[in-house]
Structure 1
Amino acid sequence: MSLFAKTTRAAAVILTLASLPSYALAQQVTVVPPGNRSAEQPEIPRASAIRTRASYTTYDEKFRKTVDLLNSEPALLGKIKKAAAAYGIDPVHIVGEHTFNVSAVDRLQTYYIKAISYAELDIKFSYDGVSLKTFLQRPEFRSCETLAITSEQWSCRDTVWDESFRGKVVDGVSYEAISFQRAFFQPFYAGQTFGLGQISPLTALQVTDLVNRTSGLPKLSADRPKDIYRDVMDPDRSIIYIAAILRDSIDAYREKGFDISGNPGITATLYNVGQPRRRAERLRTAVDAGAKKLLPVENYYGWLINERLDVLKNILDGKAIDQRTTSDIGGKKQ
């Protein structure tokens, strides 16, 4: 094991132990092994396949574009490794998040230009004319305010929305059967995510405490949407947020007795689907109810990451990869 890998692993242990509650330290931790649990790639959701086809690309083409980006931006790899070390994770987790998030025009300079354009917009987070700030003052969200960190607070609010408002009529108001993210955090268009890591505003808010504590960036607030878009669109800052999001998912599962730090496919899955705390809680409940051998399972996105792990590790080791060889690694095309 290289000195860098040993240092990263040691930092991961220290960060994890420092962030865990006492009950998590006392229970046995199940290490999730590397690789895919599924022999074949899980089904790709229809919406994702449609978006990919609409952009006249395939997942293999996105992968080749990522290889091209990383080969042509050597400074980017250095920033990825630096962020990974700061958050105590293997840098391959971060490289994995770039793998299928790059479009034909994505270059670092492009994101700087996009960040400036978003900073000039009048952005508001609201639903049906009601601002997010006003909505969160409802009594249903009161219990969320007592939680200590932003990841727990926003996870709580997400859960309250699903349980108390989603698809229901409350006080004479009919709420659509859509996610909290879609209801309040998409002022431009559906499915919007931004930057190299395709980060949603809600996800950035969830890890702002961690980013502030670890990297010293100012805390974000839903009352200041422009600050959120600035951070997730800025290439240098977005890498920090990617690392924090991955660290937060690893910690969420560790708190429930599962170590997913050695499986980039699982962290990629959680990055793709979100709600790591809710999913970790469901897994813990199922295991405690008798499903002793149950482990986290990758989705189509995480499966692709694990299938291409050797290529991604070679990129991190500074071995330039010929893009022509990267389309021969199997997997569904759409």
Structure 2
Amino acid sequence: MLIAAALPATAATLVPPGNRNAEQPPIPGASSRRTQATNTTFQAKYRKVYALLQNDGGLRSKIREAASRYGIDPMHIVGAIVGEHTYNVDAYDRLQTYYVKAISYLSRKLTFSYEGEDITDFVRRPQFSRCAGQSGSYDLWACREQVWNRSFRGKTVGGEGFPDNRFGAVFFQPYYAGQTFGLGQLNPLTALQMSDLVNRVSGLPKLDASDPNEVYKTIMDPDLTLNYVAATLKTSIDAYRQIAGYDISKNPGITATLYNVGNPEQRAYALKAENDRRIAAGEPAKMPEENYYGWLVNDKLPELQALF
């Protein structure tokens, strides 16, 4: 994160454990409809992912190891997994199923494209020239996402119309209607952003948008994807410390919230701007707050911590 890294180091305000909201914030209708469509409940989905963690000591060890590599509490990874499988998709009963799914992606011809134009060709358009100076995968893909939002999303460019939808949804869901996959329910765009950090910390090969099969295999393989989950969470912790001045490393509900909503740097800058305004007006600064997803993680934290 080039911009964040350039900011002066200052003492960050610790966000204490627990929820800031007494009651769970509203759950989006899309999540409720998805759960109802599969004839289950949020509580049943939570118990299912809890059982996966409870019954698989090997998985718990992998989570601890990944957390240690990235210098974060394992509960951040646990929170992301629990939140995703409670409000997104059901967890599989056995970890082995994720490995089988990972291998299956190698036999499919996948593409990252829109209307026949591959993403590797699309980002060569002149609008993306401002991103050419970005050397790191996080900054490069974040820049490309910004260009998409400003220059293409919901617009007609050169007589060609583009959907009013997220960059990751338009170009990075080649096989299913869903946009996230695997134990950590990662979006391929997020995995591409984290590629350099994971390569540096874990020594895994860098991902390439020209090889979607390998990207999806990586997302589906628990031994690989946990590194990307940890890197994503670490990125959020660093962004909030360096940009907004808050230490969220002791609050898995906040990191789970950011894992759910994405764009941690943008949200950290927005929080800093709001607090600058508040302080100038003589008002107290606003702490980061959990959403419905992070609220559940903090609410269930004692039960989840007992597993580790």
Tell whether the structures are fold-level matches, with TM greater than 0.5. yes
Per the TM alignment, residue 306 of structure 1 is displaced from its structure 2 partner at its CA by: 0.7
Q: Distance in 2 between matches of 1:66 and 1:307?
A: 15
**One-letter code aligned to 2:290:** E
Query: SS of the residue aligned with 1:190?
Result: coil
Aligned with 1:118 (options 105, 115, 126): 105
**Structure 2: how far apart are the matches of 1:283 and 1:100?**
23
> Which residue of 1 is the match for residue 20 of structure 2?
37
> Is 2:192 the counterpart of 1:205?
yes
From 137, 152, 164, the equivalent of 1:150 is 137
Give me the whole-angstrom Cα distance separating, in 2, the residues matched to 1:285 and 1:144.
25
Q: Does 1:21 align with 2:9?
A: no
The runs of 4+ residues in structure 1 deviating greater than 3 Å are none
Alignment match, 2:38: 55
Secondary structure of the residue aligned to 1:255 is: helix
Deviation at 1:20, TM superposition (A): 6.1
- Give the CA RMSD over aligned residues: 1.8
Identify the match of residue 56 of structure 2 among 64, 67, 73: 73
State the identity as a percent. Answer: 52
Query: Is this contact kept in 1: 2:252–2:298, CA < 8 A?
Result: yes
Q: Which residue, 262, 277, 289 being the options, matches 1:297? A: 289
Report deviation, 1:187.
1.0
For residues 271 and 83 of structure 2, the distance between their equivalents in structure 1, rounded to whole angstroms, comes to 27
Shift of 1:67: 2.0
Q: Are residues 31 and 145 of structure 1, via their aligned partners in 2, closer, same or farther at CA, if it must alter by over 3 Å?
A: farther
Write the deviation string for residues 13-71 of structure 1: whole angstroms up to 9, x where unpaired: xxx9xx9625231x342222221121111111111111122222222112211221112
Q: 1:271 aligns with which of 251, 259, 275?
A: 259
1:82 alignment partner AA:
E
Query: Given residue 174 of structure 2, which amino acid in structure 1 is its aligned partner?
Result: P
Which of 207, 214, 236 is 2:201 aligned to?
Answer: 214
1:117-145 per-position Cα deviation (integer Å, ceiling 9, x unaligned):
11111100011221111111122222222
Partner of 1:323: none
Amino acid at match of 2:145: D
Aligned residues: 298
1:8 is aligned to: none
Determine the C-alpha separation between the residues in 2 that align with 1:244 and 1:20.
Answer: 16
- Equivalent residue for 1:230? 217
Unmatched tracts of structure 1, length 5 or more = 1-15, 317-334
> Does the CA contact (< 8 Å) of 2:83 and 2:294 recur in 1?
no
Partner residue, 1:262: 250
Residues 70, 234 of structure 2: 8 Å contact kept? yes
Aligned to 2:152: 165
| Separation (CA, whole Å) in 1 of partners of 2:178 and 2:100 | 21
- For 1:66 and 1:94, the matched residues in 2 are separated by 13
Residue type of the alignment partner of 1:88:
G
**Structure 2 counterpart of 1:249, from 230, 236, 241:** 236
Is 2:49–2:91's contact at 8 Å kept on the other side of the alignment? no
Instruction: Tell me if 1:127 matches 2:110.
Output: no
CA contact (8 A) 1:59 1:100 kept: no
The TM-score with structure 2 as length reference comes to: 0.92
What is the SS of the residue equivalent to 2:307? helix
1:88 Cα shift?
0.3
Q: 1:230 aligns to what SS in structure 2?
A: helix
The equivalent residue for 2:182 is 195
State the one-letter code of the partner of 2:271.
Answer: L
Secondary structure at 2:18 match in 1: coil
Query: How far is 1:228 from its partner?
Result: 0.7
Shift of 1:307: 0.6
Segments of structure 2 that go 5 or more residues without pairing to the other structure are none
Q: Could you say what secondary structure the match of 1:315 adopts? A: coil
